[in-house]
Structure 1
């Protein structure tokens, strides 16, 4: 059972880093540092959006809008942190 919990924690950490990559890439695209006309950039951007958008879209509907500021990634980071702490403190120690 601990192996399953370790895999869940690993997946949450990987998703955390995918979110960081998506945020950084969106900033780079917004400030015209990289261009989405480049085929490699466009494919990476498409992959990151396909990985993050199914989770971020429901959060965007729930959270209020703050004049162009997207708070859904911050909320997702808090949710990931909360799930990791629940597993680490309350589930993991009591699994034999």
Structure 2
């Protein structure tokens, strides 16, 4: 297995995680989708994927600020984009 393939796979994995965070964030803005059975099961799945990524960021953020806006998805996306670049440089 070549290192280029590993780098490409990591790049795509980070890409998928970024899109999962974006989709889950948009779903919180649509209350009717959240109330349906299908919408809530999709949201629960997406939340189970993104929670381990966003929870540490949220914990650090709430130590220093407790505003009404949750910026952890945006910070998580920026961190994942940085990790994408690092994966491309390493592999």
TM-score range, shorter-chain basis?
0.7 to 0.9
Gaps of 5+ in 2: none
Which residue number corresponds to residue 25 of structure 1? 27
Q: Looking at both structures, which has the greater relative contact order when contacts are Cα pairs under 8 Å and sequence separation is at least 6?
A: 2
Task: Give TM-score scaled by structure 1 length.
Answer: 0.81
Which residue number corresponds to residue 36 of structure 2? 38
**Root-mean-square deviation over aligned CA pairs:** 1.4
Which residue number corresponds to residue 49 of structure 2? 51
After superposition, the C-alpha distances for 1:25-59 in whole angstroms (9 at most, x for unaligned) are: 01112xxxx24331111111111111111111111
Structure 2 residue matching 1:23: 3-state secondary structure:
helix
Larger radius of gyration: 1
Matched, 1:72 2:69: no
Task: Give TM-score scaled by structure 2 length.
Answer: 0.85
